DNA sequence: AGAAAGCCTCGGCCGC
DNA sequence: TGCGGCCGAGGCTTTC
């Protein structure tokens, strides 16, 4: 579920922990999968003071007086900041909460806890992540950066849909956002990146910004314009054509064969 | 039962 | 022929 706007809302939640000292941390073997060992997280975070938060694409960063801590949320991860009141009410959107799905977190000196709730165990904790592996952030992306990303980075053979999802090119575009911006720009998702015209690139950039803006207005939810048609047998809301379903870059892609070309 | 909104690894293939 | 980079396939994991 979490796409970039959800991660941004988690970051804002984590902002409430700025100033707090971490008394304890823990991670299960999946949350710790990118770390040297299961105990690395607990050992590294103990005693750190949280000094700020940040985000690059879908990677949430917790700045401290020591190393930068980071969290990825995978497909189903949610960040919780609990209090004595309990956590159920703090969920962002409609979810079920199960204690067993808390895969790790941080305990703060004031008693609160930052928790990773993640049913499908694809969320990960990181320490001192290498931000050079990520492209510019999608939320703050400039038109110039977008142009560079689509023209001077790597070969031009990959389908534009796959390229948009490549986090090392632009950080933060997920599968739904990718479909939505291609839909709005009227571009066939299979088009090789190098075959896009300057006009098409411009339209894609405009579509990206417009989509993010609209989603932000709706509270960061993941419902775009063509999402109502995002179902087998769906009808394009623009021209009434049948929506097509393809796998592009390994991801399910919904698109309209009539106006996306 | 099959697919899932994220990410990582692996191996084939292409071009220099 | 050799090498490196690009790019797609497949896997992870659990749930609905």
pLDDT, one tens digit per residue, over A117-147 is 999 899 999 999 999 999 999 999 999 999 9
Separation of CA A250 and C1' C10 in angstroms? Answer: 9
The pLDDT, as a whole number, for residue A225 is 65
DSSP code, position A200: H
For chain A, give the mean pLDDT. Answer: 88
Q: Is the pLDDT of residue A90 over 60?
A: no
Structure tokens at A95: 């979810």
Please, which pLDDT band fits residue A232 given cuts at 50, 70 and 90? confident
- The residue whose CA lies nearest the C1' of nucleotide C6 is A155
Domains of chain A with CATH codes: 4-132 (3.20.190.10), 135-256 (1.10.8.50)
Separation of CA A68 and C1' C4 in angstroms? Answer: 33
Q: Is the pLDDT of residue A153 over 60?
A: yes
Residue with tokens 């305990």: A107
Chain C nucleotides near the protein (CB, 7 A):
5-16
CA distances from A33 to A24, A38, A174 (A): 19, 8, 22
pTM confidence score: 0.92
Q: Is the pLDDT of residue A158 over 80?
A: yes
Separation of CA A199 and C1' C13 in angstroms? Answer: 41
The pLDDT, as a whole number, for residue A2 is 64
Strand B proximal to A75 Cβ, under 7 A: yes
Separation of CA A158 and C1' C5 in angstroms? Answer: 13
- The residue whose CA lies nearest the C1' of nucleotide C7 is A158
């Amino acid at each position: 579920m979490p796409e970039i706007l959800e991660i941004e809302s988690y970051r804002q939640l984590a902002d409430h922990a700025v100033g707090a000292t971490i008394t304890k941390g823990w991670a299960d073997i999946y949350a710790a999968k990118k770390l040297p060992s299961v105990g690395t997280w607990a050992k590294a975070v103990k005693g750190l003071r949280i000094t700020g938060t940040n985000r690059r694409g879908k990677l949430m960063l917790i700045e401290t007086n020591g190393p930068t801590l980071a969290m990825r949320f995978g497909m189903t991860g949610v960040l919780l900041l609990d209090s004595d009141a309990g956590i159920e009410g703090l969920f962002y959107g409609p979810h079920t909460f199960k204690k067993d799905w808390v895969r790790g977190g941080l305990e703060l000196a004031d008693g609160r806890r930052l928790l990773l709730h993640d049913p499908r165990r694809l969320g990960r904790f990181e320490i001192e992540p290498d931000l050079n592996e990520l492209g510019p952030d999608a939320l703050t992306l400039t038109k110039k950066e977008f142009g560079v990303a689509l023209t001077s980075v790597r070969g031009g053979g990959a389908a534009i849909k796959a390229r948009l999802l490549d986090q090392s090119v632009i950080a933060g575009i997920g599968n739904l956002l990718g479909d939505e911006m291609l839909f709005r720009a009227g571009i066939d998702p299979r088009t090789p990146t190098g075959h896009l015209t300057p006009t098409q690139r411009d339209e894609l950039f405009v579509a990206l910004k417009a989509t993010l803006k609209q989603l932000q207005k709706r509270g960061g939810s993941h419902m775009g314009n063509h999402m109502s048609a995002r179902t087998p047998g769906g009808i394009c809301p623009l021209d009434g054509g049948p929506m097509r379903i393809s796998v592009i870059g390994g991801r399910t892609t919904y698109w309209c064969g009539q106006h996306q070309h």
